[in-house]
Structure 1
C-alpha cells in the first residue's frame, strides 16, 4: 500500500468512510516538479467531497431558484412599484446593495439587487470551508505529511484544492444562471442570467484565493478560516457603507470598489450588464494565488508564516479544568468576533440619525415592513438586532463545529483520557459558546445603542437597543443546540444546521416582503421573539426557544456519550 493510499484511507476514515481504491501513479510524473501528483491528489479531493461539493452547489442553485420563482409568483407590477421606495432606503443599500434598475423595476433586477449579495456570501463561505478543509486542516492533522512523504510536489496540495474550489464556483454559477433563466420570471436575455451567475462565481473564486493566502499565515485551520471570514465581513461592511452612501446621495460610493462583493454587484445584470468589473475579480484571484504560492515556498510543512506564540511556563489553575481549556481554545476567536461585531454595530448605529431624517413622507407600509410601526428609529434598531442575531448564529455554529475539529484532530481523546468525562467536556465547550453568544449580542447592542444615541442625540435609545439585541440570543441558542445535537448523534450531518440557518434568515429578511403566510414565517427561529423596541418582546417565544435549546443540548450530550470517538 502506498503512502498516498494510506493517506486516502486515513482521510476517509475521518469522514466515516472506508476507502476501497488507492492511487500511486503520480510517482510516474516528473520527479522534482512543484506540482507532481496534481491530478491524482485532485481525484482524492473530489472523492472525499463527492457529497459535500454537490450539496453546496445544489443548495446555492436551489436558493436562486426559490428566490426568483417566489418573487415572480407573489409580486405583480404594482407590488414591485410599491417596493421601490423600500429598496431605495439607505438601510437596504447597506444590507443588499446599490439597487440598480429601480427606475423601471422588473422581477429580474429586483431579485439580483435584493438577493445577489447573500448568494455571493454563500459562495464565499463554500470557498473558505473547502480550501481550509483540503489544505491547512490536512497539515494540522498530519495527513499532508503522509502525502508529501511520497513523490508529491510542494505546491500540489494547494493547487489541487484551488482547482477543486474554483471548479465548484464555476459549476454553481452556471447552474444558478440556468435556474434564473428558466424561472417563472422568464428573464431575457440569457447573457444577463449568465452574467448574474458569473458575478456570484467570481466572488466565490476571490475568497478561494483569499483562503489560499490565509492558510499560509497560521498553523491552525480554525484561525485560517477566521481570518478569511474576517476579510469577508470587512468586504461586506465596506461595500455596505459605499452602497448606503450611493443610495442616500452621499460621496462615499467609491468604497464599494474596494470590496470583492462590490465588484460583483457593479456588474448590474439586467440593468447595465457590465462584464468589466469581473476583470478586477480575475486579477485579484491571479495575484492572490501567486502570493499564496510564494508564501508556501517560504514556510515549513505544518508551520505558518506567523510563528506560534510561546505559552507561559506554568498554566493557571483555571486552565486545568475542562471549562478553562474550552475557554482558552475559543478565546482568540471570541476576541476577534467581539471586535468585529462592535465595530459593525457602532457603524450601523451611527446611521440611525440619517434614517430618522429620511423618514419624512415614507409610506406607513414601508415603516411596518421595517418592523417600525412606532417609528423608523425603533424599526431600524429592532431590524439590526435581528440582523446581528444571524451574524452571531454563524459564530455559534462555527464554534460548536470546533468540537468535531478537536475530535478529528485527535485532541479530544487525550482530554478524555484524563479525569474528564464525556458529558463534562461537551457541556464545558457548550457553556463557553452559549455565554460567548450572549456576550456578542450584548456587544452588538452596546455598539448599536452608542451609535444610535450619538447620531440622534437621544441617549434613551441605549437601553432598548441592548435589551432588543440580548433578547434575540434565544434564537441563536436554538441553532447552537441543533449543531450540538447533530455532533453528538451524527457528526457527519452537522453541516445540515446551515440549511436551517439559511432558511430561517431568508424567511426573516424577505418572508414578509414576499407576503408569505404567518404560519410560514413562524417556521423561522428569528421571527418569533419580536424586533424590540419596534415590537413587543414575546416572553413565551424566549422561553420556548430556550427550552428547545435545552432539549437539543441534552440529545447532543447523550449521543456523544454513546457513540465511538474518531481515533487514529
Structure 2
C-alpha cells in the first residue's frame, strides 16, 4: 500500500486573491510620516497668509464708504476682475464678500499646488526612482500606491479647509460668519481634491515626475486664465475652470454649495480616470511613449555643464514664461492704484515703504514679493544634485572620474544664473504691463533694475540650500527655511510689528526697494559675499561626505 504525501500549499496572500487595495492603510500612514513636516508647513503657510490677511481688512477698510469705493473699483476695472474674480456682493460690500472676491480665487492656487506636488511625489516619483517596484514586490495591491497618494492629498486638503474655516470664523469680524467660513474652507478643500485628481491622471501619462508636475502646473495656470477671461467677458467660460466653480460658491455672500458639489464630482471622475489609465500601463512606464532621441548627442551634451543644462532647461524656460505672465498681470493693475490715494491706511503703508507716488510704493512691494517667488526656482535648481544622488544616478556619474565639486557646481551655476533670468523675465513683464497701462515707458527700465537688485538676496537663499545639501542632506527641508521666513516677514512682518532684528534675518529686507528708494550698492555686495561663502561651504562639505542613495 502506497502512502500519498500531501504537498503543503503555500498561503495565498490577499493581493494574490485579487485584493487590489491590500496595504493601502500602511502606505497612507507611511506617506503621512514622510510628509510630517511638509504637510504642516503647507497648511500653516497658506492659513497664515489667508487668516492674517483677513484680519487686516477692518483696519484697511474701516467704514462702509471705504468698502463701497473698493467695490466700485472691482466692478469697473477689467484688470481687477482678471486678477481676483467676477465680484460677488458688490452692492453691499461686506468684509465677507471682500474675502471671496479678493482672496479666494488666488489663494486656492496654493491648495492646488500642494495637492499636485503631493500626489506626484507619492506616485510617479516613486516609480521613477524604482522604490514603487520594490514595494509592489511585497504584499501590496495594484491600486494601493495611487489610492494612498490620493488619500494623503485628500487628508491634507480637508485639513487645510478645516484650518481655514476655523481661522476665518474665529476672527470675529463682522459678516465673516461661521456658515460662510465653512463654505470658504470647503472651497479650498475642493480645489485641492480636483487637482489631486488631475495630478493622478498626469502621473499616468508621463514616466517622469517632473513632467507630471509640470503638466498639472500648466493646467493650474490654464484654470486661472480661463477663469480670468470668463470673468472679464462676463460669460460662462468661468464655469470651465475649477477656480471659477469655487468662486461661484460665493462664501459669505450666497454660500452656494452646488458648485462645490460639482468640484467633488469632477474630482471623483478624475480619480476613476486615473485608475483606468493606470490599468493600461506597466509600472515605471507612461502612457505617452517617450520621443526617440537623436542618434548622437552634441559635444556640449557630453560635458558636465551640457548634461546639467539638458536636465534643467525645460524648467528654466517654463518658469521664465510663467514669471513673465505673472509680471504682466500685476503690471496691468497700475491703472487703478490712484483710486486708493485717499485711503488713510494705504497712505501709511506708502509712507512706510517710501516713494514719491502710490504707484512707486506699490511696485516696490510687488517686486519684493515676485523676487521671493523667483527664488523658488533657484532653490529647486540648486537641489537638483540631491535628487540625482538619492536616485542613484549621481554615483554612476561620479564613477566616471568627474570631480564632485565640478558636478555640483554646474547645477549651482544654472540655479544662480537661472534665478537672475527669472528676475529679468518677471521685471520685463511687470515693467511692460505698467508701461502699457499707464502710458509711461520709463517703467520698463525702472522695474527691470529694481528686480535685478534682488539677485544677491536670491543667490544667498539658494546658497543656503547648497550648504544644507553639502552639510546635512538628510534634513534637506531646511534649505527652504530662509525662504519661508522671508515670506512670513513680507506678509506678516508689518501686521505683527516685528522688531528690527527679526526683519533683518531676511536677506530681502536689505535690498533697496526701488523705485521707491534710492539704489545702494553696499548691502548688495555684502549679500553677494555671503552667498559666495555659503556656496563654497556647501561644495567643500559635499567633497568630504558619503554619497547617499535610497
Give the TM-score of the pair, scaled to structure 2: 0.83
8 Å CA contact 1:27–1:37 kept in 2: the answer is: no
In 2, Cα distance between equivalents of 1:107 and 1:503: 28
Alpha-carbon spacing, 1:298–1:368, altered in 2? closer, same or farther (3 Å): farther
Distance in 1 between the 2:438 and 2:176 partners? 45
Label 1:518 to 1:165 Cα distance change in 2 as closer, same or farther (>3 A): same
CA deviation map 1:24-83 (0-9, x unaligned): x99225623544443343344344444544454455555556555x538x8387389757
Which residue of 1 is the match for residue 215 of structure 2?
227
- How many angstroms apart in 2 are the aligned matches of 1:221 and 1:361? 45
| Uncovered stretches (5+) of structure 2, i.e. residues with no partner | 1-10
Shift of 1:252: 4.6
Given the alignment of the two structures, is residue 215 of structure 1 paired with residue 203 of structure 2, yes or no? yes
Give the Å deviation of 1:308.
1.9
| In structure 2, distance between residues paired with 1:183 and 1:397 | 35
What is the CA–CA distance in structure 1 between the aligned matches of 2:16 and 2:171, rounded to whole Å? 49
- Give the drift of 1:516: 6.3
Q: After alignment, is 110-119 or 390-399 more displaced?
A: 110-119
Per-residue CA shift, 1:128-186, capped at 9, x if unaligned? 22211211111111121223334544333112211121122112322332333334659
* 1:132 has 2:97 as partner: no
Query: How many Å separate the matches in 2 of 1:446 and 1:487?
Result: 32
Structure 1 pair 383/48, CA: closer, same or farther in 2 (3 Å)? closer
Q: Which runs of 5+ in 1 are unaligned?
A: 1-24, 246-250
Q: Distance in 2 between matches of 1:240 and 1:440?
A: 24
134-143 vs 547-556, greater mean Cα deviation: 547-556
Note the C-alpha offset of 1:444.
2.2
Partner of 2:25: 39
CA contact (8 A) 2:123 2:149 kept: yes
The answer as to 2:186 corresponding to 1:198 is yes
- Cα deviation, 1:197-233, whole Å, max 9, x if unaligned, reads 2111112112211111121222111222222223233
Instruction: State the match for 1:564 in structure 2.
Output: 546
1:329 to 311, 314, 322: 311
Seen in structure 2, the aligned counterparts of structure 1 residues 515 and 274 have a Cα distance that, compared at 3 Å, is farther
Task: Give the Cα separation in 2 of the matches to 1:252 and 1:482.
Answer: 47
How many matched pairs? 533
1:359 aligns with 2:338: yes
What CA distance in whole angstroms lies between the structure 2 residues aligned with 1:368 and 1:285? Answer: 44
In 1, Cα distance between equivalents of 2:187 and 2:480: 23
Question: Which digits, 9 at most, give the CA deviation of each residue in 1:516-542, with x for residues without a partner?
Answer: 676665554444424433433342332
Contact kept? 2:379, 2:415, Cα under 8 Å? no
Counterpart position of 1:280: 262
Matched, 1:460 2:447: no
Give the structure 2 partner of residue 75 of structure 1: 59
Contact 2:119 2:150 in 1 (8 A): yes
1:5-154 equivalent positions in 2, closer than 5 A: 27-29=13-15, 31-57=17-43, 60-61=46-47, 66-67=52-53, 71=56, 75=59, 78=62, 82=66, 85=69, 88=73, 114-116=102-104, 119-154=107-142
Cα deviation code 1:406-434 (max 9, x no counterpart): 11111111122222222222221111111
Contact 2:127 2:133 in 1 (8 A): yes
- Does residue 295 in structure 1 map to residue 283 in structure 2? no
Question: Is the CA contact (8 Å cut-off) linking 1:94 and 1:241 kept in structure 2?
Answer: yes
When residues 266 and 551 of structure 1 are mapped into structure 2, their CA distance, relative to the original with a 3 A threshold, is: farther
**Which residue of structure 2 aligns with residue 271 of structure 1?**
253
